[in-house]
Amino acid sequence: MKEKQKRKKKNQRKNKNETLLHAWFGLEKEPRKGLLTFEGIMILYLVATLAMVLLLYSRIPNAQPMIWGRMRILAITLALWGVYRMLPCRAMILIRATVQMALLSWWYPDTYELNRALPNLDHVFASLEQSLFGCQPALLFSQHFGSTFFSELMCLGYSCYYPMMVVVAVFYALYRKQEFERMMVILMGAFFVHYVIFVLVPVTGPQYYYCAVGEEQIAAGVFPNLHDYFLTHQECLPCPGWKDGFFYHLVETAHQSGERPTAAFPSSHVSICLTLLLLAWHSRCKPLFYTLIPFAVLLFFSTVYIKAHYAVDALAGLLSGLAVYALFFRLSRRMV
């Protein structure tokens, strides 16, 4: 009797594994002929920014590497499309999505290469901040809440940005397979809309602007126009807080490795985080949604605490997050 039960369980596990393998690697009966929609969004951004690079060629220091970088990304995208045409399966779609998500880390600093050819606008946003709040929240926040516990809490929230993305994407890939591509369209669309804004609205954020002007000047309400200062300068303030903290080091290491004086308005951290929350809610998985909420709240405040953003950037991130989610949620119904 026990032997029969063991054999039955073994057969069940075997059938389950075979079903799982077939689901991921079984060839599709009707494979897609063209690029996937989220790849198309990337191509539109690539072409638009390539045109900008060519127009501003003489004013962009790294114009040639930027052009070749775009050609490599295009080649990678077409190569993966070619592999998918030979092996049209769900696993290849996941690989194509993973590659495009990974390439976002290349596109982000690229916005700096484009927007530093335009006049800096930090003085406008710092002045707006002063008019709305009567102070600079990014300057005072960490000064008034400088305990080791609060510092680590803020850095924890900020460092959860990418893990939250991975959690939502993996959840959709495993448990909402039919909506995975739609999720990718919404997420990639949100990123590239913000990248367009970052290129056209050159705002570096407090960690760069305060460093360039001097925190004493900022505290005195002096917000000079730096014009093209960030064309040749990338110095920034260190992250405030407990310097021996584990999460502090995660944030500081990320800043040192990939941060540039760009992408302050609106806060893409806040906007994308809100998009992830809305995607979690749309998935109808309440545990996922409620698990993400506390990290999202911490992330919202941490963007100002570590001086990555002005308070107006964080608030604008909430509005842009709602707007881009609503836009691509509707478009994805027609596009996917």
Please give the angle made by the CA atoms of 300, 301 and 307, to the nearest 5 degrees: 110
Please give the angle made by the CA atoms of 36, 100 and 336, to the nearest 5 degrees: 25
Q: Model confidence at 163, in pLDDT bands (50, 70, 90)?
A: very high
Q: Model confidence at 333, in pLDDT bands (50, 70, 90)?
A: confident
Whole-number CA gyration radius for the chain: 23
Q: Taking residues 9-25, report their average pLDDT.
A: 63
CA dist 28 and 161 (Å) reads 34
Alpha-helical runs (H) found in the chain: 2-25, 37-55, 63-86, 90-115, 122-133, 137-144, 148-159, 161-175, 180-200, 206-213, 215-219, 246-258, 268-282, 286-305, 311-335
At residue 43, does pLDDT exceed 90?
yes
At residue 3, does pLDDT exceed 70?
no
Q: Model confidence at 4, in pLDDT bands (50, 70, 90)?
A: low
This prediction's pTM: 0.93
* Chain mean pLDDT for the chain: 92
- Helix (H, G, I), strand (E, B), or coil: what is residue 244? coil
Q: In 10 A of CB 49, how many CB atoms?
A: 21
At residue 167, does pLDDT exceed 70?
yes
At residue 259, does pLDDT exceed 80?
yes
Phi, psi at 45, each rounded to 5°: -65, -40
